[in-house]
Amino acid sequence: MDKRLIKLTAAFACLLFSNYSIAQVHDPNALPKWAFGGFARPENINPLISPDTVAQFLDPMSNKMVRWEANYTFNPAATVKNGKIVVLYRSEDLTGSVIGTRTSRIGYAESSDGLHFQRKTKPVLFPGNDSQKEFEWPGGCEDPRVAVTANGTYVMFYTQWNRHVPRLGVATSKDLVTWVKHGPIFRKAYNGKFFNIPHKSASIVTKLEGGRQVIAKIHGSYWMYWGELHVYAATSTNLVDWSPLVDEHGELKQLISPRKGYFDSDLTECGPPAIMTDSGIILFYNGKNHPGDGGDKRFNGNAYCAGQVLFSRDDPAKAIARLDVPFLRPMAPFEKSGQYVNGTVFIEGLVYFHKKWFLYYGCADSRVGVAVFDPKTPALPDPVPVL
C-alpha cells in the first residue's frame, strides 16, 4: 500500500476515534468514571416478587389470621447470607384504601442466583405487642435497608409508621429471620431534639473487604446518609444510637437538595447502602420529579428515578459530583403503572454477589424488580427521553 495512503488512513482513523471520544464526553446520558452502571434488567425475570393472596400469618395485634402480603410487595432491601442473596421487602395487607393506610410488614425471600427467589410464608419483622408498638402500630414496618458488619451482624434500618410520625428505627439480627428491635435511632441525640420530627430512608456507608460488602467506619465512626426531601447525614459508635449532623445554628445540615429543572426537582430520598470507592463515597438515591414548571419535562411529573451523588472519602459531608440525568428510570409497564400511577423505580437494595452488583427496587409501589451491573461488561444507562 502507498505510504501516503497508509498515513491518510491512520489520520482518518484517529479523527474518527477523537470525534467518538468527544461525543461520548458530551453525551448527557454517559456515566462518569466514578459512577456505577449501567445496570441491565435481566430478560424475562422482572417482576421478581409480586403480591401473594394465599400466604397468611397470625397477627399478634389483632390475634387474627392476616393475608399480610396480599395487596402489594415492594421497596426491598438486600444482602448476602450463606452464599445466597436475601431480599427483605415491604408488604401491605388488605386493610385500608391507599398507601399509608394499610399495615406494612417485612417479608423474606432468598435466591442462589439473585434472580429466582423462594419466599417465607410469614413476615420476619412486623408490629407486635413489644417495646416498639407505639411507633409501629397500626401503620407498620416500612421500606427497609440492610447491611452487615464484618463479624456477621445484620443491621436493618426501616420506617416505623404509627400513622402520626414516621421515624427511622433500627433492628439487628444474626440470621435475618429473628430480629431485635432497638427503636428510633434519634431518640437520644441532642436531648431528643430530632426525635419527633418526620425522618426516614437511611443509607449506611459500606465498603468491599475481601470480596464482601460490609459496614464501614470513617474516622472511627459509622456514617449514614438519610432523608426524604433533602439528604442529611448522621454518625454512630454503636450502630443503634445516631447523631444527625447539624450546622452552626444547630439545625440539620443539608448535604444535597432538589434541583429545579432536574429529575430530582421535588425530592432527593436516600436509597440502598452507600458504597466507599477509590473515587469517593457513592450515595444512590431516589429523585422525585416536580410535576410543574420546576421539573424535568422529559420525565413524568411525580415520577421517581434513580440518581447517584459522589461524596468525599475524607469529608463524607462534602458532595463533589452528581449525575444530571437518572441512570435508572421507569420503563417497563409494571414500573409505570400500579399503586403509584406516576411510575417509580424506587431503589433500596444493592448487593455485591458473584462479582456483580444486584440492584433491587420497588416497581410503582406494587412489585419488586432487579437490575444488574457487571463491571466487566457494563450496560448502557437507561435512555433519556427526547422532548
Averaged over 212-237, what is the pLDDT? 98
Averaged over 209-236, what is the pLDDT? 97
Residue at 22 is within a domain: no
Confidence of residue 314 (pLDDT cuts 50, 70, 90): very high
Residue at 179 is within a domain: yes
Model pLDDT, residue 29: 75
Among residues 136, 139, 141, 127, which one has the least CA distance to residue 59?
127
| Beta carbons of 177 and 124 less than 8 angstroms apart | yes
Residue at 270 is within a domain: yes
Q: Which three cell numbers stand for residue 158?
A: 426501616
Characterize the bridge pairing of strands 274-276 and 202-209: parallel
**What does pTM read for this prediction?**
0.92
For 183, residues 6+ apart whose C-beta sits below 8 A from its C-beta are: 131, 132, 135, 160, 169, 170
The 10 Å CB-count burial string (b at 16+, else e) for 342-379 is bbbbbbbbbbbbeeebbbbbbbbbbbbbbbbbeeeeee
Task: Using the predicted structure, report yes or no on whether residue 246 has a pLDDT greater than 90.
Answer: yes
Alpha helices by DSSP H, listed for the chain, are 3-26, 133-136, 333-336
Distance, CA of 331 to CA of 227 (rounded, Å): 26
Averaged over 354-363, what is the pLDDT? 98
Q: What is the per-residue pLDDT across 331-356, written as a single tens digit (0 to 9) for each?
A: 999 999 899 999 999 999 999 999 99
What CATH number did the domain enclosing 139 receive?
2.115.10.20
Residue at 18 is within a domain: no
- What range defines the domain where residue 63 resides? 43-373
Residue at 95 is within a domain: yes
Provide the domain count of the chain.
1
Distance, CA of 297 to CA of 281 (rounded, Å): 30
Model pLDDT, residue 116: 98
In the DSSP assignment, the letter for residue 51 is -
Confidence of residue 27 (pLDDT cuts 50, 70, 90): low
Confidence of residue 298 (pLDDT cuts 50, 70, 90): very high
- Going 324 to 330 to 331 to 336, the CA torsion angle's sign is negative
Question: What 3-state class would DSSP assign to 30?
Answer: coil
Confidence of residue 276 (pLDDT cuts 50, 70, 90): very high
For 13, residues 6+ apart whose C-beta sits below 8 A from its C-beta are: none
φ/ψ of 233, rounded to 5, equals -140, 165
Model pLDDT, residue 1: 46
Model pLDDT, residue 28: 64
Model pLDDT, residue 11: 43
Residue at 381 is within a domain: no
Q: Which three cell numbers stand for residue 67?
A: 393475608
Question: Got the DSSP string for 122-138?
Answer: S-SB---SSTTHHHHTT
Confidence of residue 3 (pLDDT cuts 50, 70, 90): very low
Residue at 10 is within a domain: no
Task: Using the predicted structure, report yes or no on whether residue 137 has a pLDDT greater than 80.
Answer: yes
What dihedral do alpha carbons 241, 349, 88, 173 form, nearest 10°? -40
Q: What is the per-residue pLDDT across 161-178, written as a single tens digit (0 to 9) for each?
A: 999 999 999 999 999 999
Confidence of residue 111 (pLDDT cuts 50, 70, 90): very high
Task: Using the predicted structure, report yes or no on whether residue 86 has a pLDDT greater than 80.
Answer: yes
Residue with cell 477523537: 18
Distance, CA of 365 to CA of 310 (rounded, Å): 27
Mean pLDDT score of the chain:
93
Confidence of residue 285 (pLDDT cuts 50, 70, 90): very high
Distance, CA of 188 to CA of 338 (rounded, Å): 39
Residue at 237 is within a domain: yes
